[in-house]
Amino acid sequence: MSGGKRLTPTFDPLRQMIAWEEGKLDHDETVQLFQHVVKTGIVWCLHGIYGRTAHDLIQAGQVRV
* Structural domain spans, the chain: 13-59
5-41 CB burial, b ≥16 within 10 A, e <16 = eeeeeeeeeeebbeebeeeebeeebbbbbbbbbbeee
The answer, yes or no, to whether residue 62 has pLDDT greater than 50, is: yes
Q: What pTM value is reported for the model?
A: 0.83
For residue 40, the model assigns a pLDDT of: 97
For residue 1, the model assigns a pLDDT of: 46
- Which of 62, 65, 33 has its CA nearest to residue 49? 33
> pLDDT tens-digit profile of 6-58?
665 688 999 999 999 999 999 999 999 999 999 999 999 999 999 999 999 99
